[in-house]
Amino acid sequence: EQIDGKPLDGRSDIFSLGVILYELLTRNRPFEGETISQILKKILFDNPEPVLKFDSSIPEQISKIVMKALEKDPNDRFQTAEEFALALKNYKDFRLSKNKEKKPQLPQPPPKIEKTKYSVDWKIVSIAGASGGIFTLLLIFGLQYFLSVDSNPFSFKKPANEEILPTPIEVKTDPPGAVLYFDGKKVQIPIISPNDKGKHKIVAKKGCLSAEVKVSSKTESPLFLKLSPNPFQFKIDSDPQGAKILINGEETDFRTPALIPRADCDKFTIGLQLEGYSTVSREISPNETESIFLSLSPKSLEGKLKLSSASNSMKFYLNGKFLGNNGDVITLLEGEHTLRIVDEKLLGERETTVRINPKETTEIFAEDFKAGKIFIFGRPEEDGSVYVDGKLFGELPITGDKSLAVGKHKINVVSSKGKKVSFEWKIKEGEQKKVVDFEKRKVSDF
């Protein structure tokens, strides 16, 4: 359908699958020839040899299924891939013999097609890169072979009773990777009928780089095009639309969606601004892309939090990170936040929740921790060090000059001789005393 300039649909893919299955089963291509014209003619007019003629062990029904997929008329093929799959379902366990040697390709019979059958007034056709891409590869392969045969790729002797078919033009660009347009239509390989006497335009584009050339049926292939900068329009769009567009930090009169005129291929930076949304910016390389689409994120509303405490020994933490001290004012996002308040002197901590309102200052006040005075004595060694919750708290003996926040604390006492006693102590308000026996490794109330 592509070669003949006819509409493509899923049945074109059925044909492509048939070609692949044919080659897998027979180890031969269904359409072969010495020239690109011969291959094109066979695709259009000739029927390949049945699969059975290559390997008699292949079930006859499989051969019929493959040949049905290769019918010239799309209406005679399977109409959907599902139909094709259902037809093959009963043969999913069929395997070709691994030891079977490849059989020589059967000779193709002489063409039986009358001249009137293919003396068609060829239209200009273009091979696109979507459905049935196998033919694009086939044409490229044939063209490469064709070029290697003769310095003049079209100097082969025209076989008797064979019409010269459309001429594919391979286009190579510098830099490579350009998109091709043939008379305004996007294509992969331009093809011109040999009977076409007119001029046609090929345009190659890659970002802001482009080149164009007039071609005819006599244009030699491959065609080399050097891309160069040209004035162009860069497309910018966003979600939501209506964002103000900045170019290299300067405001413009454009809002998304818009086509921004550019005169060169230099890199530039675009910025988008929209009230209620965070500003976004990107560096653009025009020779790599022709458009950009950016999604804008709603701007997070913020408020302020003033930290206050009864003691300067208190510190505030948020999500495990230090937030601030008494008297600090912190900017936070709108919503609820859980703060951890730590008194480094009394070794107490607690959590509290605060709500931040947008564009407002909220104050939080941390009251003193309730605490109890502690006494700790050691026996028989009277000297040593006391650790509370993993931190050095003081030296033995501790005689009520220190206090701990009310609550449970993990106590480790190490004598001057290195003996260690550990225990958990639930501190209450008032005085409490403990005696640590390093010999018995016990703790008792005083």
* Confidence at residue 155, expressed as pLDDT on a 0 to 100 scale: 38
- Pull the structure tokens for residue 241: 């639309």
Nearest alpha carbon to residue 438 among 408, 405, 396, 409: 396
* Confidence at residue 170, expressed as pLDDT on a 0 to 100 scale: 84
Instruction: Report the C-alpha gap between 396 and 411 in whole angstroms.
Output: 13
Instruction: Report the C-alpha gap between 399 and 420 in whole angstroms.
Output: 20
Taking the CA atoms of residue 392, residue 397, residue 400 and residue 405 in that order, the dihedral angle to the nearest 10 degrees is 30
Peptide bond before residue 222 is cis, with ω within 30 degrees of 0:
yes
Instruction: Report the C-alpha gap between 19 and 84 in whole angstroms.
Output: 13
- Do residues 204 and 227 make contact, with C-beta atoms less than 8 angstroms apart? yes
- Pull the structure tokens for residue 227: 């891309």
**pTM for this entry:** 0.39
* Confidence at residue 231, expressed as pLDDT on a 0 to 100 scale: 79
* Confidence at residue 42, expressed as pLDDT on a 0 to 100 scale: 82
Instruction: Report the C-alpha gap between 268 and 252 in whole angstroms.
Output: 14
Domains and CATH numbers, the chain: 10-116+142-149 (1.10.510.10), 167-229 (no CATH), 233-295 (no CATH), 302-366 (2.60.40.2070), 371-445 (2.60.40)
* 156 residue type, one letter: F
* Confidence at residue 364, expressed as pLDDT on a 0 to 100 scale: 95
Average pLDDT of adjacent 10-residue blocks, the chain of 446 residues: 73 90 89 76 84 85 90 90 86 71 44 38 37 41 41 41 65 89 86 83 86 88 86 88 93 92 85 90 82 88 92 93 95 92 94 93 95 95 95 94 95 95 96 95 92
Helices 10-26 and 60-69: crossing angle in degrees, nearest 10, is: 140
* Confidence at residue 107, expressed as pLDDT on a 0 to 100 scale: 43
Q: Are strands 223-226 and 171-174 parallel, antiparallel or unpaired?
A: parallel
How many C-beta atoms lie closer than 10 Å to residue 429's C-beta?
11
Token look-up 């947008």 returns: 358
Half-sphere exposure for 420 (CA within 13 Å, toward CB): 5
Residue 70, Cβ density class (10 Å: 0-12 exposed, 13-18 middle, ≥19 buried): buried
Instruction: Report the C-alpha gap between 94 and 57 in whole angstroms.
Output: 10
Contacts of 410 (CB under 8 A, 6+ apart): 388, 389, 390, 422, 424
Instruction: Report the C-alpha gap between 41 and 28 in whole angstroms.
Output: 18
420 to 16, 62, 415, 434: CA distances (angstroms):
82, 85, 6, 15
